A and B are shown apart, each in its own frame.
Chain A
């Protein structure tokens, strides 16, 4: 029973943490479609994309040259 109570308590704490995390993420007040889109891209780039280094890599498509095959922006 004590174990069961501990498990329930842990689950409740976990839920609260998740909710507060979501609220914290939304709290800055700039949660717009654009921001969400940006975040999605940013997130994707970190995990799978090719870093563009804000054009600092001087490759062709960052300098008005032909577009490369990178599926990210």
Chain B
């Protein structure tokens, strides 16, 4: 009995190991579940946050208490945390897809576009695609740059394709405020959809 049971157990063990290995490979096949955007998990925003929407209603994001909506381009929505002299300390913007940007070219488009708009020292830090958002799938980059007035910002910029269209969300803050504001910025981005 022992002689026959052992090979069976071995077969079972090998099968289990193989199954676990395959399952592990399946997890590894989803490279965007970890890495620089591991924080991006669709989740409900805190109850005291405000929801800002595109005028078209195609997308929305939640922003923290203390932030306020600011002047923005027609058809878009922006919210900011303002410091002394109305200086922008934290910035969130949602914009409908409006140019040649796509989920496929986003990793190169965003930095190139920032340069085209006059930003300097644009450095892309990370990029990923196939990311999950509440309303669909997206591609994201993180980068940093200096504006035409030499203000320095770091940003998370994502393009998301949902059932109601494709839209972009940008979350930015000066590098000096990044560590403090990043958790809020990330949570806003994760609520986008």
Chain A positions within 8 Å of B, measured between CB atoms, are 44, 48-52, 57-61, 63-73
Interface centre among A48, A52, A68, A72 (most CB of B within 10 A): A68
Task: Provide the bound-state CA to CA distance between A48 and B71, in Å.
Answer: 20
Within 8 Å CB of B149, what residues of A? 63-64
Smallest Cβ-Cβ distance to A72: which chain B residue: B99
Does B135 reach chain A (CB closer than 8 Å)?
no
Interface, chain B (partner A; CB < 8 A): 70-76, 78, 80, 88, 91, 93-101, 109, 113-114, 116-117, 119, 145, 147-151, 153, 155, 157, 167-170, 172
Query: Are the CB atoms of A59 and B72 closer together than 8 Å?
Result: yes
Q: What secondary structure prevails in chain A residues at the interface with B?
A: loop
Number of A-B residue pairs, CB cutoff 8 Å, is 100
User: With A67-B119, A68-B78, A69-B170 given, is the CB distance from A60 to B99 under 8 Å?
Assistant: no
Contact A61 B80 (CB under 8 A): no
Q: Is the CB of A71 within 8 A of B74?
A: no
Q: Evaluate whether A73 and B116 lie within 8 angstroms (CB atoms) in the complex, with A64-B151, A67-B155 already known.
A: yes
Return chain B residues, CB-CB under 8 Å to A49: 98-99
A61's nearest neighbour on chain B, judged by CB, is B117
27 A-B pairs (CB sep. < 8 Å): A48-B98, A49-B99, A50-B75, A50-B76, A50-B96, A50-B98, A52-B73, A57-B72, A59-B70, A59-B72, A60-B88, A64-B147, A64-B149, A65-B151, A66-B91, A66-B170, A67-B114, A67-B117, A68-B72, A69-B76, A69-B167, A69-B168, A69-B170, A70-B95, A71-B100, A73-B113, A73-B117
